[in-house]
A = this chain, B = another copy of it.
Amino acid sequence: MNDDARKSCGRHLRRIEGQVRGLQKMVEEDRYCIDVVTQIQAVRAALRRVEDEVLADHVSHCVDAAIRSGDEGEQRAKVSELVAVLGRRTR
């Protein structure tokens, strides 16, 4: 990953860590289930955005490096890997 992407992901993950701690507190304080679920959905959406960011960086750096290398085997490997990881994604 490039420097900017790494910093941005690190910042988002620290924020997500705080949200997970907030969730623990909500559960301990026995807050209303629907509010807990809504907050879990928000944390999952935030993680999805980090996933998007890492994948975009991967395509523009690692996959692009394979393209520039001209190495067909490497290119095929990167495409398979990308299809596999994108296939496992969930919303």
Residues of A bordering B, CB below 8 Å: 1, 6, 9-10, 13-14, 16-17, 20-21, 23-24, 27-28, 30, 32-34, 36-38, 40-41, 43-45, 47-48, 50-51, 54-55, 57-59, 61-64, 67-68, 70, 72, 75-76, 79-83, 85-91
Given contacts A10-B28, A51-B40, A51-B41, contact A81 B34 (CB under 8 A): yes
Residues on B with C-beta less than 8 A from A62 are 32-33
A58 to B54 Cα, complex, angstroms:
25
What's the number of copies of this chain in the assembled complex?
4
Nearest to A89 among chain B residues (CB) is: B41
Given contacts A27-B10, A33-B62, A79-B59, contact A90 B89 (CB under 8 A): no
